[in-house]
Structure 1
């Protein structure tokens, strides 16, 4: 796994499919489990056998050949699934397919790795390195709940990221794939590699955002957008270090929503997992987007996936929980747990003054971003634009006085660079105060889902989520047990980032003796591992945990 630079050029161009003869000719000459063959091709084992018997006129037992797998794939072309043409038409793909099958058939003895024994498995810590290595080291059947937010497709280029050698032969960081299909396929591969370490009753809570297929710059953090607007930066498309095109896809057009979360859920069904729910968490503050022909995106999706048809789910425990920092029932919610999660701000959260500053900041950034795309005949007068730039700097200074760091919600990236023109070229009234046109007010009044606070930017991670989110997932998926119980359930975050899942776990364990569980995390970037460990250490040594989880007037420690 090699470290890479910050440059990236994503061109979502679909390949021409290989012919059936080309696929079958590239099948390795060996056998594999029929159930595993069905999982990776993307269908139930019974349907796989039906195709072999009735479609191919063959016979099949507990094992089958790679050639038969290739024939079933070439005949059905299920999508989304783990398999792709490259698994049969390239040497790297053939080798990767064999390695994946060997891992799935004998997970107790993974290639080039050895699993930790129960005595060697130390919990309540973050492991530095790749999730691929950790999936091969964590003891089998040991993880009760997976709670994470992985990199989204084409949204970030991190200062430290690493190339992953995937089974299809491609070598690319997770999230940096050329097409949505590649990203979805790699997500499915991660789930298959994760499965052996899950208990039968485990649940997976996978927070993944949707993406529009648009021509856009890819930034390291959402702070970059703010800096670009404040400094009035102008760079040509050719000079951008990281960018994503929007043309060349098989069917996605410019401005199309990719529907990635739902396609991941469908692919996981094909892999044998159970897609139990698509949960929506609504963000209370979102950046005004530079589009005027659709609603503003004000939510993200949380997939609830189970490893079997029966699994651990403690709705009663959630219904009885009143502590907001635990993700308990908010004032917005009744006693039925619904698929739209609306979590309260913790005491002392976003103040009215902060909210007003954030709103005006978003408005000004919106206008300046839009102005840069207009014809010269529609440009703002130079004096007006100068006033807006000055007001922007004033607002940032005011917000800095309100609290230690800039609210992440106003800096959330909007990937749309090609936008529809507004109905009105005038977005300001007297002085430098702004007001939206009626058409924009209508569009922004209703995000796709009609609440949960967003994370503060204090901990300098590019994509944090609020601590209440993993807290609620833990509440629902981990059983209460006695403090002396040696058989602890384990929560795992494979993309730990700034440590929000661990903070939520430590918070719950510390304030409720009825929860006796452990947690672990994986993080590939050393500085993020240290950042998370510092947060956890601070929490463990805090003399007053109730004060720690309460947001005071200047900091938001409970948010990642």
Structure 2
């Protein structure tokens, strides 16, 4: 197998996903069980788990080389404590659990590489600090049944497919756990661009793609409630009411800050078209969000790429966007070919890549889907690694990326260069 062919990681078989019943579990920290424990931990280990900066931990506890279990309990008692990817009751369990060190047989590529596997496992295959840009559109909570869904055992103890958690808090925790792992593979001046849409806490059938949902809205779905493979209920949450917005994107951004990342921008992606919504009590949604995260205050950032790159790869959308690069991006939606339920347009990852990388830098999409981010990376002359649990989407992405006939920054910026881009038309 050549270095730029898809690497196949052994996986469990796809699973039948259960209904989602967002009942908040009743749980609390069992303090007496920890009082006699003698383990110690570094501040760097503890800080992202208690949602505090190392400097604040020093303010609370004073200067010390290692923190005891009692020190961690003191931090968990602070008003400043805030959950990141573990609930309060699980922090010490996580700190005292032995974890295998990742193998040093890292994967890289001179062009593009696709890895079939769960993202929590596949990220261990990448060398620390090797990725300049992460750009992805993640699964959304409780909205889709994705092909070849696999169970993941998460740090908070839940075992489920990503996007099919029983509560929005579970989805937020798992998103932040992935971001925590991405910190290690990201270059010091790199960027993460995290595309996410919010979900309403409503009682609904969970469908495979937007086309199925549209047919249902048009009265063309003959399935009854019980006929659907999975359903989402709305009762039992500790505070969310039926029909209420879950506020997921903002909570992911807040927790990303608490694990040590910089939240540079919360960008609104204003879609030029969006799905109709059969409701009469609120405005319809026409936007999603892109969270821009970095490891440092001053990451690599090429602002002029907005004016220089062609619109198909994320340059200024003339007629919709001004000459000023702002935090509202007016970009078209994807046509959703190949049966993928949540594609984003090539222009969106193209813009993120162009703004935060240089030619030959390495771009990563941990949820590559049908490969639009890889298409943009190749057309811009960047190296690319994509991860997905679905062998079908790995094949679709490979075909799409390989079909870009010319790779290079010049082709992306020279209007006289003719280049066909799959799923977007010509450049």
What is the TM-score when the length of structure 2 is the normalising length? Answer: 0.87
**1:8 partner SS:** coil
1:521 matches 2:393: no
1:537 matches 2:402: yes
Partners of 2:132 and 2:191 within 8 A in 1: yes
Aligned pairs for 1:343-492 (under 5 A) are: 452-480=331-359, 488-492=360-364
The verdict on how the C-alpha distance between 1:213 and 1:317 changes in structure 2, with shifts beyond 3 A counting, is same
Match 2:76 to one of 70, 73, 77: 73
The verdict on how the C-alpha distance between 1:141 and 1:15 changes in structure 2, with shifts beyond 3 A counting, is same
1:82 matches 2:91: no
The verdict on how the C-alpha distance between 1:231 and 1:334 changes in structure 2, with shifts beyond 3 A counting, is closer
1:233 matches 2:222: yes
Distance 2:383 2:127 in 1: 14
Aligned residues: 408
- Which residue in the other structure is 1:114 paired with? 104
Partners of 1:326 and 1:468 within 8 A in 2: yes
Distance 1:541 1:81 in 2: 42
Distance 2:154 2:269 in 1: 31
**1:144 partner SS:** strand
Partners of 1:492 and 1:521 within 8 A in 2: yes
- Which residue in the other structure is 2:45 paired with? 36
Structure 1 range deviating more: 304-313 or 226-235: 226-235
Deviation at 1:174, TM superposition (A): 1.0
Distance 2:222 2:192 in 1: 41
The verdict on how the C-alpha distance between 1:114 and 1:86 changes in structure 2, with shifts beyond 3 A counting, is farther
The verdict on how the C-alpha distance between 1:558 and 1:497 changes in structure 2, with shifts beyond 3 A counting, is farther
Distance 2:420 2:37 in 1: 57
Distance 1:23 1:209 in 2: 40
The verdict on how the C-alpha distance between 1:333 and 1:239 changes in structure 2, with shifts beyond 3 A counting, is closer
The verdict on how the C-alpha distance between 1:199 and 1:150 changes in structure 2, with shifts beyond 3 A counting, is same
Name the one with the larger helix percent. 1
The verdict on how the C-alpha distance between 1:67 and 1:187 changes in structure 2, with shifts beyond 3 A counting, is farther
Aligned pairs for 1:12-161 (under 5 A) are: 12-19=22-29, 21=31, 24=34, 29-53=38-62, 60-76=63-79, 78-87=81-90, 94=93, 96-98=94-96, 111=101, 113-116=103-106, 123-161=111-149
Deviation at 1:200, TM superposition (A): 0.6
Task: Please provide the CA RMSD for this pair.
Answer: 2.7
Deviation at 1:557, TM superposition (A): 4.5
Deviation at 1:296, TM superposition (A): 0.8
The verdict on how the C-alpha distance between 1:242 and 1:524 changes in structure 2, with shifts beyond 3 A counting, is same
**2:304 partner SS:** helix
The verdict on how the C-alpha distance between 1:306 and 1:232 changes in structure 2, with shifts beyond 3 A counting, is closer
Match 2:314 to one of 312, 327, 330: 327
Deviation at 1:201, TM superposition (A): 0.3
Distance 2:235 2:33 in 1: 27
Deviation at 1:175, TM superposition (A): 0.9
Deviation at 1:6, TM superposition (A): 3.1
Distance 1:22 1:169 in 2: 21
Note the alpha carbon deviations across 1:116-161, whole angstroms, 9 max, x for none. Answer: 27xx655512112122222212111110000001111111122311
Name the one with the larger strand percent. 2
Distance 2:22 2:66 in 1: 37
**1:315 partner SS:** coil
Structure 1 range deviating more: 326-335 or 283-292: 326-335
**1:38 partner SS:** helix
- Which residue in the other structure is 1:6 paired with? 16
What is the TM-score when the length of structure 1 is the normalising length? Answer: 0.68
The runs of 5 or more residues in structure 1 that have no matched partner are 54-59, 104-109, 343-451, 481-487, 510-516
Distance 2:111 2:16 in 1: 33
Partners of 2:345 and 2:424 within 8 A in 1: no
Distance 1:251 1:279 in 2: 27
The runs of 5 or more residues in structure 2 that have no matched partner are 1-10, 408-415
Distance 2:23 2:184 in 1: 34
